Amino acid sequence: MYANDIPVGYICIRTKIDDQWKKWSGNFYYAIRLSERKKGYGTKILELALDEFKKLGLKEVYGQSSSGNTASAKVIENNTGILLEEIDGTRYYKIKL
Q: Per-residue pLDDT tens for 21-59?
A: 988 899 999 999 999 999 999 999 999 999 999 999 999
Read off the amino acid at residue 35: S
Q: What per-residue confidence (pLDDT) applies to 34?
A: 97
Q: SS3 of 13, please?
A: strand
- Concatenating the DSSP letter of every residue in 20-87 gives HHHHHTBSEEEEE-GGGTTSSHHHHHHHHHHHHHHHTT-SEEEEEEETT-HHHHHHHHHTT-EEEEEE
The structural architecture, per CATH, of the domain 2-96 is 3-Layer(aba) Sandwich (3.40)
What's the whole-model pTM score?
A: 0.93
- Share of residues in the chain with pLDDT > 90 (%): 96
- Please report which helix (H) or strand (E) contains residue 2, including its range: strand 2-3
Query: Where in the chain are the domains?
Result: 2-96
Q: How far is CA 29 from the centre of its chain?
A: 5
pLDDT at 3 over 90: yes
